A and B are shown apart, each in its own frame.
Chain A
């Protein structure tokens, strides 16, 4: 089964779960006065779930025949591309999300930029580290001072 059909199958599952929640779980706790309204919080989701199920079945059952265009990157030959780098960068993004609050903006962002370039193969540390540090401080200044959005610059235990 082609990838588009697998995805349609997953989306069918999503629509079924969404539909189940809309049709069978949402109306129980509705206040009596709301039940007299012609529209309930579940009305629109109920309509969407039906349309969603029909549209996914359309692809799953092959009613619409389209040739699966091979994009710039053929997913069947993913290992031939820089898959390791992409996965490591995604992991780095997750680590950044988890560390941003605790480590503060400046250490986490500089580490993100340095490690990101390192993962992609950059080894010129004398260029890499100053570029990352200058960019981090510049962006922090821009966000904090110009845009007025508070970003803790350093870890909490440094008083940041």
Chain B
């Protein structure tokens, strides 16, 4: 591990990569602050830039920096405007915004920055411990287990989608897998489902799809319903926190770093669940008097979600780097970028390209430090971006969306596909269909079919399912994950129907 750390440090501390971390964090903070633009959109917009650099380490370091910056920027708009830029920072507004209203915006931003730094750093330490261990286990996996593992990952994403959302998430995942089969795959060298259209021979562009699923609907929502973007930066004055305050949030940070990290590792759970759960847990275990403070400007109530969401972001890198399976929309986009750079994340990444693996981990430490020491003092100035008029901002967002798709494929037809898919994605968003599973399915589709085909060939049919116990076990877990939420929902429904009946009977 020490050798790996040194390789990572040497790579991450090169001038180019340091510049990438700083640039990524700053860009991410700037754009992440704008309400309505989440990290997925920002990373999707940045991908063509990252890919054109040609160096996978630098590209991934830039994108990871953007990711952290976007989460930090999202917290800033949550605290200052009560308008979270990212779903993962909604819980930060519960106490962050009341603090800002009480004239403690500077203090709130400092707590958010320290909690994010601690969550991210402890998360990176845990990643350093768990990723190599998981990688060595994953090396024992064959195609059949990989296929089953991908099924588990996709099922978990559907299972964590929420009540009444499992079937919708499943449909979106399957639609993503269906879209991945369009074009001439490497497996058969035969064009499939192209309907004779030449532009579809190479399949749908991943960047086009990422832009259409995230950036375009978010921009259209900003057009349809303008959000208030004016920041009240006069309130950002005193950034200091007292020793007593630091002592109060320290245990919260410790607990939430661990909890957030492990939630982040689970596919589909991610920063949003981690932050809400972190907030709820801290409120429940707080002394009675402090519980009253939650929601009115409690520093613990702000530190908990901020720590948890950053730790979860780091945790989501575990399945990506060790298994090559993304657990969230953002890591799916990162996986797509890596594939475009001819890097295959998975257990062999640590062995074949240790400089990428360790440089990413090292850049997490550096990125968190940059956010703390560079972004925090700059926040009052960065917050000015919130004052950019909507009339200028939206055409630029749309333009960068178009450019991302165009540069990614160098084909004007992609732009028409982008608009078409963007309209479909907006309609899906109106009907509350989750869009991230579609992109995850699309990115995993090729690998999944590849592993499925290899297993079929090895076992001359589907007997690999029952002949390999681990495959069978994983597929059973996947089935349980899909069935359990609807079973539980039905039980809750049945109990709800039963109880009024019972109360009615007792009355008579």
Residues of A with Cβ closer than 8 Å to B? 2-4, 6-8, 11, 14-15, 18, 21, 26, 34, 37-39, 41, 43-45, 48-49, 51-52, 55-56, 58-59, 63-69, 71-73, 75, 78, 81-83, 85-86, 89-90, 93-94, 96-98, 100-101, 109, 112-113, 116-117, 120-122, 128, 131, 135, 139, 143, 147-149
* Contact across chains for B407 and A82 when beta carbons are under 8 A apart: no
In the assembled complex, which residues on chain B have CB atoms less than 8 Å from the CB atom of A98? 412, 416
* Contact across chains for B178 and A117 when beta carbons are under 8 A apart: no
A65→B48 CA distance, assembly (Å): 41
* Contact across chains for A44 and B171 when beta carbons are under 8 A apart: no
* Contact across chains for B225 and A100 when beta carbons are under 8 A apart: no
* Contact across chains for B225 and A73 when beta carbons are under 8 A apart: yes
In the assembled complex, which residues on chain B have CB atoms less than 8 Å from the CB atom of A26? 192
* Contact across chains for A71 and B430 when beta carbons are under 8 A apart: yes
* Contact across chains for B460 and A38 when beta carbons are under 8 A apart: yes
Residues of B with Cβ closer than 8 Å to A? 48-49, 52, 162-168, 170-171, 174-175, 177-178, 181, 187-188, 190, 192-193, 220-221, 223-226, 389-392, 394-396, 398-399, 402-403, 406-407, 410, 412-413, 415-416, 418-419, 422-423, 427-433, 448-449, 452-453, 456-457, 459-461, 486, 489, 493
Closest chain B residue to A60, Cβ basis: B167
* Contact across chains for B224 and A69 when beta carbons are under 8 A apart: no
In the assembled complex, which residues on chain B have CB atoms less than 8 Å from the CB atom of A64? 164, 166-168, 486, 489
In the assembled complex, which residues on chain A have CB atoms less than 8 Å from the CB atom of B398? 89, 93, 112, 116
A83→B226 CA distance, assembly (Å): 12
In the assembled complex, which residues on chain A have CB atoms less than 8 Å from the CB atom of B460? 38
* Contact across chains for B399 and A18 when beta carbons are under 8 A apart: no
In the assembled complex, which residues on chain B have CB atoms less than 8 Å from the CB atom of A43? 453, 456
* Contact across chains for B225 and A81 when beta carbons are under 8 A apart: yes
In the assembled complex, which residues on chain B have CB atoms less than 8 Å from the CB atom of A81? 224-225
A153→B358 CA distance, assembly (Å): 41
Q: Assuming the A-B contacts A72-B225, A86-B220, A117-B391, are A3 and B430 also in contact, with contact meaning beta carbons closer than 8 angstroms in the complex? A: yes
In the assembled complex, which residues on chain A have CB atoms less than 8 Å from the CB atom of B452? 39, 44
A139→B400 CA distance, assembly (Å): 10
In the assembled complex, which residues on chain A have CB atoms less than 8 Å from the CB atom of B395? 89, 112-113, 116-117, 120
* Contact across chains for A82 and B226 when beta carbons are under 8 A apart: yes
In the assembled complex, which residues on chain A have CB atoms less than 8 Å from the CB atom of B192? 26, 41, 45
In the assembled complex, which residues on chain B have CB atoms less than 8 Å from the CB atom of A75? 430-431
A-B contact pairs, 29 of them (CB 8 A): A4-B431, A7-B433, A21-B193, A38-B459, A38-B460, A39-B452, A44-B181, A44-B449, A45-B192, A52-B178, A59-B168, A64-B486, A64-B489, A65-B489, A69-B432, A85-B223, A85-B224, A89-B223, A89-B394, A90-B419, A93-B402, A97-B418, A109-B399, A112-B398, A116-B395, A117-B395, A120-B223, A122-B392, A131-B392
In the assembled complex, which residues on chain B have CB atoms less than 8 Å from the CB atom of A45? 178, 181, 192-193
For residue A109, give the distance in angstroms from its CB to the closest CB of chain B: 7
* Contact across chains for B181 and A65 when beta carbons are under 8 A apart: no
* Contact across chains for B394 and A63 when beta carbons are under 8 A apart: no
Q: Assuming the A-B contacts A71-B432, A147-B407, are A66 and B419 also in contact, with contact meaning beta carbons closer than 8 angstroms in the complex? A: no
* Contacting residue for B171 out of A21, A52, A90, CB 8 A: A52
* Contacting residue for B423 out of A8, A55, A59, A90, CB 8 A: A90
* Contact across chains for B224 and A82 when beta carbons are under 8 A apart: yes
* Contact across chains for A143 and B402 when beta carbons are under 8 A apart: no
* Contact across chains for A48 and B167 when beta carbons are under 8 A apart: no
A100→B175 CA distance, assembly (Å): 31
In the assembled complex, which residues on chain A have CB atoms less than 8 Å from the CB atom of B391? 117, 120-122
For residue B261, give the distance in angstroms from its CB to the closest CB of chain A: 29
* Contact across chains for B403 and A139 when beta carbons are under 8 A apart: yes
Closest chain A residue to B190, Cβ basis: A41
A86→B426 CA distance, assembly (Å): 11
* Contact across chains for A44 and B221 when beta carbons are under 8 A apart: no
For residue A68, give the distance in angstroms from its CB to the closest CB of chain B: 6
* Contacting residue for B453 out of A11, A39, A48, CB 8 A: A39
* Contacting residue for B174 out of A2, A48, A93, A122, CB 8 A: A48
A21→B456 CA distance, assembly (Å): 22
For residue B184, give the distance in angstroms from its CB to the closest CB of chain A: 10
* Contact across chains for A113 and B429 when beta carbons are under 8 A apart: no
In the assembled complex, which residues on chain A have CB atoms less than 8 Å from the CB atom of B392? 117, 122, 128, 131
A100→B405 CA distance, assembly (Å): 13
* Contact across chains for B415 and A96 when beta carbons are under 8 A apart: yes
For residue B415, give the distance in angstroms from its CB to the closest CB of chain A: 3
A56→B422 CA distance, assembly (Å): 21
* Contact across chains for A73 and B410 when beta carbons are under 8 A apart: no
A45→B175 CA distance, assembly (Å): 11
* Contact across chains for B221 and A147 when beta carbons are under 8 A apart: no
A131→B177 CA distance, assembly (Å): 42
